[in-house]
Structure 1
Amino acid sequence: MEKAEIGLIGLGTMGSNLALNIAEKGHRIAVFNRTASKTDAFVENAGALKGRIVPCKSLAELADAIRPPRPVIIMVLAGKPVDEQIAALRDELSANDIIIDAGNANFHDTVRRFTELQGSGLTFIGMGVSGGEEGARHGPSIMVGGTQESWTRVEDVLTAISAKYKGEPCAAWLGPDGAGHFVKTIHNGIEYADMQMIAEIYGILRDGLAMAPKEIAPVFAGWNEGRLNSYLIEITAKVLEADDAETGKPVVDIILDRAGQKGTGKWSVIEAQQLGIPATAIEAAVAARVLSSFKAERLAAEKAYGTLEVERISGAKDALLKDLELALFAGKIAAYAQGFAVMEGASKEFGWNLPMPTIARIWRAGCIIRSQFLDTIAEAFGKSGGKGNLLMAPAFITMMKEAHPSLRRIVARAAEAGLPVPALSSALAYFDAYRQGRGTSNMIQAQRDFFGAHGFERIDAEGAFHGPWGMEQG
């Protein structure tokens, strides 16, 4: 029997769609699921693709069905299940075979697994996959971390199944061990910020301008035709347009305002803090999701403080909508600048040499944060050699000079109206602090020296100094 090009374990939604994608692109794939009936049902429902799928009843059968060196994709729950699956596979695989974790793994686990397999003859790939189940089926963005040799073995399959942007595959090798999963984590952090800022703009339109979902939908649809063109803006318009089959009401109006999360946003914030890179818009977005989950407390607080009487935002509607568009654009730029800054910091810390232009290019299609200005980001990093904050790239300086006044006005008007905009306001504060040549941390240094004798630098002399606090120090 003809050997499969690759194997896959775990036929849940993502695994099944990825397997069908691989088969559809002409590659023979061996599949295994712990529940054999699920494997049978998957193959039975594969239709015309059935001939390229090899169903396996055991891991030994799976290993035997794949052409050496054998790559095997694991699509199971992150954490302990991945470690258990790796342990089981080690008994069945041989030298140079490749275990690929395509789940949402913490990159620290990926680094550990990569290290643990060194010397065993086996190698490990941590593969970030973005695009949800639709992307898995028809073309995701794929971020690979591992050895270049292991990437070479699977490159044909992964580039074939990835999304394409003007014919260019949205899949790439980004560096060793945890590089791929780290980039996917930061992708998700940016995604959190992007989604939160869209929600905040929606809130201003809904509560500040008293617009109904059907009125807001064409606003986002129009923005999607311009500088904000992106997948998230596109689907926001579609969400606002949709009606609930049972009640006939707009779907968005019957959805509970309590957002879920799976951990990647939190990881991105933790890593930013560990690296000492400010990512305030991402942090605010994660915090906003957490606060949204405190539904009972929020209802109690509303009762204690009284229902907020939102002040309607007045003024010419067309001008307000233009300000909202530019405010969202400025916030988006700040969030991407923060995300890429975190990746640059991690690249130095872990010796990955992450290819920033490549990352921007493989995010242009397939992934959740795909947007037209990723082309501009790729070009900016191409010119800078992948270094420096995006806010200092000439193209982004021009865009922010146009957009930040609108962000300032919208944040101010939202605050006056009592409308929470944590991610947008954090983006503005980050921008203002970043562009301020002399800030206020001189006061912090004075305080630190006063109570802890930590010392400070002077603006007119080299060295460390102490203030004239004398015996008053605590």
Structure 2
Amino acid sequence: MTQSQIGLIGLGTMGAMLALNIAEKGFPIAVWNRTVSVTHGFKAEAGALADKVTPCETLADLVAAIKPPRAIILMVPAGQAVDDMITDLRPLMAADDLIIDAGNALFHDTDRRAAEAAEKGPHFLGIGVSGGEEGARHGPAIMGGGLRADWDRVAPILNAIAAKYKGEPCAAYMGPAGAGHFVKAVHNGIEYADMQMIAEVYGVMRDGLGMQAAEIADVFKAWNQGPLQSYLIEISGEVSAATDTHTGKPMLDMILDRAGQKGTGRWTVIEAQHLAATIPAIEAAVMARNLSSRLEDRLAGEAVFGTAPQAGANVTLAQLEQAMIAGKILCYAQGFALISAASNAFDWPMPLPEIARVWREGCIIRSSMLNDMATALTEDATRNLMLAPFFADHLKASHGALRQVIAAGALSGLPLPALASGLAWFDMMRTGRSTANMIQAQRDFFGAHGFERVDGIDDKHGPWAGHGI
């Protein structure tokens, strides 16, 4: 029997789709799932690809079915399940074998697992995989972290299964240890912000302009033909146009406004705080998801203060489109700035232009803007994206509309936290003299923390010395 070239553990939706993708690209694969019936059912339903799938009933069988040096992909829930699986596999695998965690892992966990692998074996690679079920089956974006030699070892398989942008695989090595999972977390943070901004603009159309779902669908579909062309705008048009099969009403009108999350956006925000990186649009998006889950509190607030959204917002669809363009640029700029901060702090020489190129296809945040972002980052990876001429010109043309939309939202009671946070960040980033001098004076007054002077005089305290200490 021909030995498999790779193994995969965990045949949930994502794992099953990824395994079929690998088999379809011509790589025999051995699979194992904790529930044996799921393993055999997977092969039975693999159709024409079944001859490339070897179902295994035990982990020992799985290891034996793979050609050495072995590589096994884990598609199990993040956290303890990954550690447990590594513990179970370690005595069965050779020192030069490779375990690949392809789940949404916290990058600190990946760092720890990589360090343990260096000491105990086998080798360990952490890869971020984006694209959802469809991407896993037909081509995701893949972001790798670990030893470069380990990435190179499995790169032929990963490049083959990855999405392609004009024939170029959307898969790349990001750096040591947890770098791949860190980049994936930032990807998800940007995804949170992009989705929230779309939801905010949807709210302006629905509640501020009184538009019906079908009309909103037409707007999104039109926007997807211009600068906002992206996967998220595309599917926003599709979900807005969909009809509920049970009631015949617009599907959106039947969905409870309580958004779920798996934690990657929260991880991104927490790490940004540790790195002193400013990502307010992403922070606002995470806040908005958290607040969406507090439905009872929101209903209580509505009962006390009245309904916030009011129709008749003084804003045009053209202004909404321009506001979305500005917001999108700003949230991506914040995300790439966070990656740059991590690259410096952790001594990870992460390839920012390559990251933009990997995100051009397969992933959830794929967008026509990413090709221009890759170009701008190639020109100067140290420069904030909002300062790159191409995007600076876009922002000069669109930030006025963003102001109009936010002002209209405030006057009409339409919450726009991500868009407003993006604009506040933009204004702070273009203010040469901020108001932080007041904060420094206050800190010195109550805590004698000292400050720097604009004239260079070596006197770190104000004339209030001795007060409040």
TM-score interval for Structure 1 and Structure 2 normalised by the shorter chain: over 0.9
Aligned equivalents of 2:93 and 2:124: distance in 1? Answer: 12
Q: 2:415 aligned with 1:413, yes or no?
A: no
SS in 1 for 2:201: helix
Aligned equivalents of 1:464 and 1:157: distance in 2? Answer: 62
Q: 2:65 aligned with 1:65, yes or no?
A: yes
The answer on whether the counterparts of 1:311 and 1:418 sit within 8 Å (CA) in structure 2 is no
Aligned equivalents of 2:65 and 2:187: distance in 1? Answer: 35
* 1:332-411 alignment runs, 5 A limit: 332-384=328-380, 386-411=381-406
Structure 2 gap ranges (5+): none
Aligned to 2:216: 216
Deviation at 1:463, TM superposition (A): 4.0
Aligned equivalents of 2:393 and 2:447: distance in 1? Answer: 43
Aligned equivalents of 2:285 and 2:95: distance in 1? Answer: 44
Aligned to 1:227: 227
1:375-404 CA-to-partner distances (Å, cap 9, x unmatched) read 0110011011x2221111111111111111
The answer on whether the counterparts of 1:125 and 1:147 sit within 8 Å (CA) in structure 2 is yes
1:420-449 CA-to-partner distances (Å, cap 9, x unmatched) read 000000000000000000110010011111
Aligned to 2:177: 177
Deviation at 1:57, TM superposition (A): 1.2
In the alignment, residue 373 of structure 2 is paired with which amino acid? I
Aligned equivalents of 1:404 and 1:283: distance in 2? Answer: 20
Deviation at 1:51, TM superposition (A): 0.5
Aligned to 2:91: 91
SS in 2 for 1:155: helix
Deviation at 1:34, TM superposition (A): 1.2
1:23-81 CA-to-partner distances (Å, cap 9, x unmatched) read 00111101011111111100000000000011111111111111111110001111001
Aligned equivalents of 2:212 and 2:293: distance in 1? Answer: 24
Aligned to 1:201: 201
Q: 1:464 to 1:196 in 2, by over 3 A?
A: farther
In the alignment, residue 388 of structure 1 is paired with which amino acid? R
Give the alignment's TM-score, normalised by structure 2: 0.99
The answer on whether the counterparts of 2:205 and 2:211 sit within 8 Å (CA) in structure 1 is yes
Deviation at 1:464, TM superposition (A): 5.0
Aligned equivalents of 1:472 and 1:280: distance in 2? Answer: 34
The answer on whether the counterparts of 2:207 and 2:309 sit within 8 Å (CA) in structure 1 is no
Aligned to 1:10: 10
Query: Please, which moves more after superposition, 31-40 or 225-234?
Result: 31-40
SS in 2 for 1:472: coil
Alignment RMSD:
1.0
SS in 1 for 2:451: coil
Aligned equivalents of 1:166 and 1:308: distance in 2? Answer: 47
> What is the identity percentage for the equivalent residue pairs of Structure 1 and Structure 2?
59
Aligned equivalents of 1:257 and 1:23: distance in 2? Answer: 39
SS in 1 for 2:177: coil
SS in 1 for 2:73: strand
Q: 2:437 aligned with 1:442, yes or no?
A: yes
Aligned equivalents of 2:269 and 2:16: distance in 1? Answer: 31
Structure 1 gap ranges (5+): none
* 1:259-338 alignment runs, 5 A limit: 259-308=259-308, 310-314=310-314, 320-338=316-334
Aligned equivalents of 1:345 and 1:309: distance in 2? Answer: 38
Aligned to 1:128: 128
